A = this chain, B = another copy of it.
Amino acid sequence: MNDRDAVLKANAAFYLAFESLDLARMEVVWLQNASITCTHPGWHLLLGWGPVMASWQRIFVNSEVMRFTIIDAHAEAVGDLAWVVCTENLESTHGTETVNARLQATNVFQRKDGRWWLVHHHASAVSGPPPDGTPESMH
């Protein structure tokens, strides 16, 4: 498997851990160190293992069902660091209500001991087409 495919596989594993709503599964996706960073949609930056894992705990406690359909995932690896951009189509359930959201994500992975670990996650809501009616083909 080339680096790009290995990184995309790690990216897919991250979203499976996200859907599991299980902190123990999310913990094994991330590199355990003080420099990991995370920005959830609309949130401030979170820095370090403790704050990042606490944020997942909070999200998982407040979620019932989350289903991701990931599209347009692009990965670029340079040595032992890689970044992935992808679009998250998220269906989440809160009681009897189902909400669909479209988000754009940046995920940074670092290779250590032969495995790609997540070191940064940034997701933000896509609020619509860019100003001035950029055609879909530009996306």
Contact = CB atoms under 8 A, between A and B. Distances in A.
Count of identical protomers in the assembly: 2
A77 to B, nearest CB: 8
Interface residues of A, number: 47
10 contacts: A35-B76, A37-B83, A39-B85, A39-B124, A43-B130, A44-B130, A78-B81, A78-B110, A81-B83, A106-B106
Given A55-B130, A62-B132, A108-B108, 12 more contacts: A35-B76, A37-B83, A37-B85, A44-B139, A46-B139, A47-B85, A47-B139, A51-B138, A55-B134, A78-B79, A81-B83, A106-B106
Q: Which 8 A-B pairs have the closest CB atoms?
A: A124-B124, A79-B79, A42-B127, A81-B81, A78-B81, A44-B139, A106-B122, A39-B104
Interface of A: 35, 37, 39-47, 51, 54-55, 58, 62, 72, 74, 76, 78-83, 85, 87, 104, 106, 108, 110, 119-120, 122-132, 134, 138-139
